Amino acid sequence: MQVNILLGLILDIIFIAIAKAYFRRKRPVANTDDALGQMGPDIFSFPSGHASRAVFVAYFFTRLHPLPLICFPPMLAWTTAICLSRVLMNRHYILDVLGGILLGLLEGILMDLIWIEKSAAISLMSYISDEKLDGGEYHV
């Protein structure tokens, strides 16, 4: 599960960076007086990376790796709060957030198609990290 959500979040960062570089939509004018609002890695607005990551995480934990039903309302409230806060803080236009929501949903569907099974995830993590699998020739 951890490998799949990490892969999904990395894909989200890549897709957001490509989309912002392509569309190059400036942030709302009301955002220019905010000294803290001007800090950050980019100056472009479309699509909202916060919204896409929040929707992807909600999709992941409701469809791909479901949590207990009691966790759904707080998670959906959190996702809604993230999306609304981007507009209320004048960091994004409404269409930027809607674009982020759509992108997050598409990323969730993509992760459903390329889901990495447990054995492949363990093998991948042992290849990337210094940890070796139990029973391997390098196991200490």
| Catalytic positions | 50, 92
Closest-CA residue to 55 (of 1, 18, 110, 131): 110
Contact 109, 56 (CB under 8 A): no
Neighbouring residues of 15: CB distance < 8 A, sequence distance ≥ 6: 52, 103, 107
Closest-CA residue to 52 (of 109, 113, 90): 109
Q: What is the DSSP letter of 62?
A: I
* Residue 26 bridge partners (DSSP): 44
* Residue 44 bridge partners (DSSP): 26
